[in-house]
Amino acid sequence: MVDNRKFYINGAWVNPAKANDFDVINPSNEEVCATISLGGQADTDAAVAAARAAFDGWAFTPKGDRIALIKRLLEVYNDRQEEMAQAMSMEMGAPISMSRVNQVGAGSWHLEGFLKAFENFEFERDFTATEKTLLEPIGVCALITPWNWPMNQIVLKAVPAMAVGCTVVLKPSEIAPLSGLLFADFCDQAGFPKGVFNLVNGDGVGVGTQLSTHPEVDMVSFTGSSRAGIAISKAAADTLKRVSLELGGKGANILFADAGEKAMHYSADRCFRNSGQSCNAPTRLLVERSVYDRTVEVVSEVANNTRVGPASEEGKHIGPVVSEAQFNKIQGLIEVGMGEARLTAGGLGRPDGLNRGFYVKPTVFADVDNTMTIAREEIFGPVLSVIPFDTEEEAIAIANDTPYGLTNYIQTPDDEKRRRVARRLRSGMVETNGQGFAQGSPFGGYKQSGNGREGGTFGLEDFLEVKAVSGWVSK
């Protein structure tokens, strides 16, 4: 069992000002796998003060020196990949094979992407012959990250913020904190100056609110639920700090009749990936009427054939959901769905043979319409809702009829149709035909899926202020 009650503040591991132990539960077996401490106001204040004290020096550190430190961080990250994979697998239930490839890989991929974007990034730009536009670090940044893709989100925030000259205070999810603690150790090993990177564990009500309201924090970057994003925005309003939000989703996946059965299989697999715990999961499958019945058959077969098992086991399967609270929420929504639509796979309870752990059956509902609860609420589990449509216009209308706008999906070999529909979908991202996004592509959403963009150049710019300077060159 891991015992790490300390916080990383001002370049050192320090004890909390006041003990407040918190048990971390392994979702595969419901046993305590670690004990951490939740911070209080004194810990938050200390971390913010350290970041504030370090800011001026770090902001004016030459770009090349900052690049060198991030390159060193990537080296440390790659050298210690197995530690990180084991930590994430244990804390949030990603099967170990997936944790090594996808969870850990997301972090290294984004680190490499930021290095590429930063190499040629210009902080000074000519506006006219005599006027300059300067891009400058915003200041002290609070980073509040979720449990479902820990390294993906920590790297997407911490690395660009530090790269452009900001100092940071990270609050990882308290139910999956081990990866964040490891990342802090990576930053320490890489040799970042004192106060540039700080970490305080805590919950949203405590440290999360303290950071959001802190007068010395210039920006909050948050990934999580839309409900929490609204609360953070309100908390930050009194100090008028910048708030960047990456929130929930209810992605529509439009499958046209010409897409073929491979696309049907992909649509189910993509929904169930990471046990459905992805904000960009395509959880609403919109299917053209002529292939609707066959699609329901195929995705139901995929659900029934998707193996569920402990995160510690090697192989291709999905693990548990992260916590008892999430398990109970998903079970409640499955029960609602059974009263609204036709259950064709999965359902209530744990899969056969799994009596302990937060395991959810991959579940498919057919004959769903967009007014149903299961079509409107983000379930955040391996639950797929299948909705028929007759025309392209109807599919677009259904896809856009949601308060969310993170990622939508299109399946068709018709290039003209694919581009035409993509232009009409109200979301920050549109994935087509299973083609993933390039390194540095902007990640973020419309509407209640948030604001701001993460990744590459877009992620660097999110942490910068814009300054206009006239008379840079005398006339």
Instruction: Give yes or no: residues 262 and 377 share one domain.
Output: yes
Instruction: Give yes or no: residues 205 and 93 share one domain.
Output: yes
Instruction: Give yes or no: residues 286 and 159 share one domain.
Output: no
Instruction: Give yes or no: residues 312 and 454 share one domain.
Output: no
Instruction: Give yes or no: residues 312 and 403 share one domain.
Output: yes
* 133 DSSP β-pair partners: 125, 468
Instruction: Give yes or no: residues 150 and 230 share one domain.
Output: yes
In a domain, 443, yes or no: no
Residue 237 tokens, joined: 């309003």
- Average model confidence (pLDDT) for the chain? 97
Q: Is the pLDDT of residue 1 over 90?
A: no
CATH classification at residue 61: 3.40.605.10
Instruction: Give yes or no: residues 460 and 360 share one domain.
Output: no
Residues 364-389, buried b or exposed e (16+ Cβ, 10 A)? Answer: bbbbbebebebbeebbbbbbbbbbbb
Arithmetic mean of pLDDT, 267-276: 98
Arithmetic mean of pLDDT, 383-401: 98
pLDDT of residue 121: 96
Arithmetic mean of pLDDT, 412-441: 98
Q: Please, are residues 146 and 224 in contact by the beta-carbon 8 Å criterion?
A: yes
Q: Is the pLDDT of residue 475 over 80?
A: no
pLDDT of residue 292: 98
Instruction: Give yes or no: residues 305 and 238 share one domain.
Output: no
Instruction: Give yes or no: residues 463 and 419 share one domain.
Output: no
Instruction: Give yes or no: residues 398 and 376 share one domain.
Output: yes
Q: Please, are residues 267 and 371 in contact by the beta-carbon 8 Å criterion?
A: no
Q: What's 371's DSSP letter? A: T
In this predicted model, what pLDDT tens digit does every residue of 139-162 receive, in sequence order?
999 999 999 999 999 999 999 999
In a domain, 444, yes or no: no
By residue range, what is the domain housing residue 216? 2-247+449-469
Please tell me which residue in 279, 378, 431, 454 is annotated as part of the active site: 279
pLDDT of residue 474: 82
Please tell me which residue in 141, 166, 174, 246 is annotated as part of the active site: 246
Arithmetic mean of pLDDT, 336-364: 98
Strands (E), 304-441: 342-345, 363-366, 383-389, 404-405, 407-411, 429-432
Arithmetic mean of pLDDT, 28-38: 98
Q: Indicate if 431 belongs to the active site.
A: no
pLDDT of residue 2: 87
The tally of domains found in the chain comes to 2
Q: Indicate if 279 belongs to the active site.
A: yes
In a domain, 102, yes or no: yes
Query: What percent of the chain is predicted at pLDDT more than 70?
Result: 100
Arithmetic mean of pLDDT, 345-372: 97
Instruction: Give yes or no: residues 280 and 401 share one domain.
Output: yes
In this predicted model, what pLDDT tens digit does every residue of 119-141 receive, in sequence order?
999 999 999 999 999 999 999 99
CATH classification at residue 268: 3.40.309.10
Residues 300-320, buried b or exposed e (16+ Cβ, 10 A)? Answer: bbbbeebebbbbeeeeebbbb
pLDDT of residue 109: 98
Instruction: Give yes or no: residues 118 and 264 share one domain.
Output: no
In this predicted model, what pLDDT tens digit does every residue of 225-243 receive, in sequence order?
999 999 999 999 999 999 9
Arithmetic mean of pLDDT, 88-107: 98
In a domain, 227, yes or no: yes
pLDDT of residue 45: 98
